[in-house]
Structure formats: C-alpha cells, structure tokens
Amino acid sequence: MNQPTQQEQEYLKALESKLWTAADKLRSTLDAAQYKHAVLGLIFVKYVSDAFDARRQEISAQLDDPEHEYYLDPEGLTPEELEEEKAIELEQRDYYTEKNVFWLPAESRWQFLQDNAPRVIGGAELTIAGKAKKITSVGHLIDNALEGIERDNAKLKGVLNKAYSGLRIDQAKLVELINLIATIPFSHNSLNSKDILGHIYEYFLGQFALAEGKKGGQFYTPASIVSLIVEMLEPFEGRVYDPAMGSGGFFVQSEKFIERYANKYDIDPLTQKQKISIYGQEYNYTTWQLAAMNMAIRGLDYDFGKEPASTYTNVQHPDLRADFIMANPPFNMREWNTGVDDNDPRWVYGQPPANNANFAWLQHMLHHLAPDGSQALLLANGSMSSTTNNEGEIRAALVENDLVECMVALPGQLFTNTQIPACIWFLTKTKKARTDKAGRQLRDRKGEVLFIDARHLGYMKDRVLRDFSMDDIAQVADVFHAWKTGKEVNGTTYQDQAGFCKSATLDEIKKHDFVLTPGRYVGAADVEDDGIPFAEKMATLTEKLGEQFAESAKLEAEIKKNLAGLGYEL
C-alpha cells in the first residue's frame, strides 16, 4: 500500500495545521455544523477553479504549438486579432469537458470571487455574463458563483450548498476566509491535486467531527478504519453500496484501492474504475451534498438516489443487490423504527429492537447483498454479546446460517466523537470455493469464522486519538486474505496466533452461546520465556523490592524532619 513520503507528510501536516488554525479563528459564533459546509464549499470552488486554470494554461500552450492540433495559425492576423482569437478559443467549453474538467463561467472562477469579495461587503453592482447585476453581500457573491457552476455542469445540479447569503458570519470574516482558502496550493512536485484536496477534506472533516461532538461523527469515519475495511473487502469491480454514506469516505478509499491494485498489476486505473458502480444513501441533506461533491471532484459516477432520505423508511435503491457493502452507521441508535413495518422483508433473521438499530442496519445490508457479495460494518462492541430484546436470537440465527465470516475487535480511542468500543462485522452469503472479484481463488470456508483481536494494534497520534499505521492495516488484511485463500499472501501464511487470530467452527461458537467477541476465541498472547529460572527471578525481584522499601522509609523520615522544622508533627 502506497503512502506519502516523509517529506510529503510533513508538507501536508504543515498545510493542514496552518489552514485549520486560521479557519477556526474565523468561525466566531457560527456553529461548527454550518461552518463545515461553508469552508468545504469554498475549498471545492478553489479546487475546481485551479483545475480550470491549469487546463486553460495547457490549452494556451497548445494554441501556440505548431505541432498540436489546436494550433492557432497567426498568418494574416495582427497581434491584436491573434490575441482576440486566442481569448475566444480559451472560452470554448469543449476543451475543458473533454479532459473531465468542470467548465466555469467567469463569475464562478476563484480570481473573480477573490477580487470582488471586498467590493460587495456593503452591496455593489457587478458585470456578470455581460449584464449588470446587483450583488448584496459576500455571501450572495459566493452563492452566485455556485449557481453558475451548477448551471453549466449538469452532474452538479442540486449538489452545491448555496446558503452563504444566510450565514450568520461577519462579511469581513467571509472575505478573510476566501483569502485564506486562496492560499491552498493544489500543486506540488510529487503530490497531485486530488491527493492534496483529499487530505485537506479528510483532515477538516475530522476536525469538524471533534468540534461538533457526538453528532458530528455520524458522517465521519477515521480514514485508517475505512482503509482497513476496503483492504479486507477489496472492491475491485462491481456494485459498491453504503446505506449510511456520510461524506462518502468508503467510496473515496475504494477509488484509491483500485488505483493501487491497478498499478500493482499494470492495469489501466481509469478503465478499472469504470467497472465500479457506486450507490449510496444519506439522510442529512447537506451531508448528502458533501458526498456528491466528493464524487464529482474525483470524476466518479454515482447514484445517491433521488433525494436524501431515511434508510429505514425510504430506501433509495430498493432493487439493488450489491457486490460490496460498507457502512459506519450511528451506534446504538434509538427510536429508529418509526414508520417501519414489523413485517418488513429485511428482518429475515429476527425483529430488531426499537431501542437499538444495530441489527436493523446489519439486516438491511444483508437484504441488499448479492448472492456472492461481501459486507462490512462498524458496530458498537455490545452487538457481539448482547442478549437483550431479541439481539441474542438474531446473532445466533446469523451464525447458524453461516453468514458471519470475520469479526475484528478494534482498539479504543480511534474515534473523534465517541469512546464507545467498536468492532467490525464481515458477512457473506457464501463461503464456498470460488474466484472473487479481485481474482483471488477462495477456499471452501463453510462452517468457519475468523476472529481477529486488533486491540493491541495502532499508535497514539496525539494525547487522545489512536490511529492505525499502514503496517497495522496490512497485518490484519493479509491474515484475513491468507485465511480465505489458504495460500501465502504478502509473506503471510494463515495459522492461529494466540492473542491475535483464531479460526473457529460454528460448534465452538455455539458453546460460547453465540457470543462473537474475538477475545473469547483468540485467548491470551504467549509470553516469551526469557530462560531465567523462577526461583532466581523471584530472588532478584524481592531484592529490588527491599531496596525500594528502604528508599521509601528514608524519604518518609526526611519529610517528617522537614515538617518538624516548620512546627508540624506527624
């Protein structure tokens, strides 16, 4: 798996820190949920504008190049006429769309926005598309730019969040925010513009999740967890579905996985990406827009349904049977079932309780899974062992029907917004021997479940948050694929490892009353014998303890003496 070099990581870290610190200072009284969309919307405009400008410079060079088909022959033209002809050519929409670059009308280009923002703080008349137009505020100017982008790019119709006019933020601060985002360099000598954009989006989403607290995390899953799931499922081609998609992180990582896989096997990534169909659903309107922007930026085709809607009551893809389903739904969601029929066809393995949606999400995904598909979802740890309100019965039915493929226990402190311990469920409708979508020959795994205890993996990226390294992700993914194939994968051959992984039979799971907590099966890690006899080791420890007691008594006497000197007796 590729990852940025140390130099690239340092560059991105310096950039993210500078941008967030400045952006957060400008937030003032605006709440994080609103400000998130204001910032990310402007970053989107800056990115598409930079891409437009880069293509414009490319076209300009091609118009001057006698060897290029777009060469503009100056013969018979005065210098003024040549410049005029060139200016006309540079405004030809097809030159941009043929390279999958969004066409931007003049009022939607970043330079126009930045130049005119200070002028319209108190309202001003601007010339837009050859006509005078009254712009009442900086927010109005931004909304006007977004309207222009939507008008000229059908893919973005209804996607952009045009609500800047109504933001309760000082207009001068909005100008400052524009000037701050203008400093984002979507160019680097080794990183491409999408890498930079993706990193900034990801970082800002994480920071906003922290600022918003528990609610904010409903749309944000830490990138390392998303990467782990994607590396384990390997969505190389087929239909990919996320019924709780948030900002579309699973789709973005699926694209990155395809790029890595295609490069590894010398396959054209663009051709391979066309073999993926993206389906998603999201209830929150602004988050639905954010996900659509995320896909549009990357040139990915997607179907997010007719509208934002509840996955429980208004399924946007009723006939979908997906090859890969990945999701991070809200944990332990209460009162989810209003308007849901008790006889809903999704509840094949039992009626989910009204006070917890965990098994509703799980069964919704199974309902939409293709016969040879695979799914993964993050759930709270309680889902592995709870026996209240029919949850134990549903879990037992899933195990007995041989749908559970792998359970992964995660370490704590991975999430910005909750301390609830989490796990990943991997399910499949078939464990028979077959060739999967990534071309791996899978062995017959009927009656087996893999348990992985990853609680000891990861590193503390700061005082409160843990993260997975690429090596951590590879360790878990390679064990999973080695178990599935029965062959060596990246130097890993599967065998049970005490404290880490165990392949259990359905009978073993039944003996544990269908509790699926990996720790029950993998046991404790073996302690390496250091070769020192117990008696010798005990004598050394006792001697050391005696020294520590003596030192303690000495310190106690010194403290009493000092207190007595101050007139205090113990």
Type and span of the H or E element at 260: helix 249-264
Positions of the chain with pLDDT lower than 50, given as ranges? 1, 214-217, 219, 527
DSSP state of 329: P
Task: State residue 219's pLDDT score.
Answer: 46
Task: State residue 3's pLDDT score.
Answer: 58
pLDDT tens for 209-263 read: 777 664 444 546 778 899 999 999 999 899 999 999 988 989 989 998 998 888 8
- CA distance to 149, 203, 427, per residue, from 242 (Å): 27, 21, 15
CB atoms within 10 A of CB 296: 20
Task: State residue 217's pLDDT score.
Answer: 42
- CA distance to 270, 272, 276, 437, per residue, from 235 (Å): 15, 11, 8, 7
The pTM for the full model equals: 0.80
452: which 2 tokens?
A: 């992985």
Residues 62, 86: contact at Cβ < 8 Å? no
Contacts of 170 (CB under 8 A, 6+ apart): 28
Task: State residue 385's pLDDT score.
Answer: 95
pLDDT tens for 132-177 read: 999 999 999 999 999 999 998 888 888 888 889 988 888 998 999 9
Closest among 247, 249, 250, 243 to 290, alpha carbons compared: 247
Task: State residue 511's pLDDT score.
Answer: 96
d(CA 125, CA 47): 27
